[in-house]
Structure 1
């Protein structure tokens, strides 16, 4: 069963189009992806992603990702989040 405790012990590394769990070692590097790095992932490569706000801050780390379709979703954000939406709502 996956729990926050288990996830901390099994960081992920990216390899091509797949994510692989790797054992934690002293050489494990923790790195928070920036907005720019996140948008460069294969999942976003062939999409029509548009950055609506904060385009001058793509070097900021993403601490959380949300998916929402409500026009009011932005009111719930506190900073450091990446909001994904289709734009249909």
Structure 2
């Protein structure tokens, strides 16, 4: 159980960091929010990919690609809802 949680944290951190790197602009969220972003993105990615491929089978994690795509979607929605990220003007 402990190693499962550690795995989710590491997985979420990596997926969240990649999503933050892909989405343009500066994100003012900390490491805990980045981990949460990656974990939620993994669940969202698993749900969306499962819906389009094998049908909805409940909340399950996605692979790396699905997790990163899910984290990007979650980050964009989070930024729109909270208004935290503003477009940088040059």
Fold match by TM threshold 0.5: no
Q: Which has the higher helix share?
A: 2
* Larger Rg computed on CA atoms: 1
Q: TM-score, normalised by structure 2?
A: 0.26
Q: Which has the higher strand share?
A: 1
Larger RCO: 1 or 2 (CA < 8 Å, sep 6+): 2
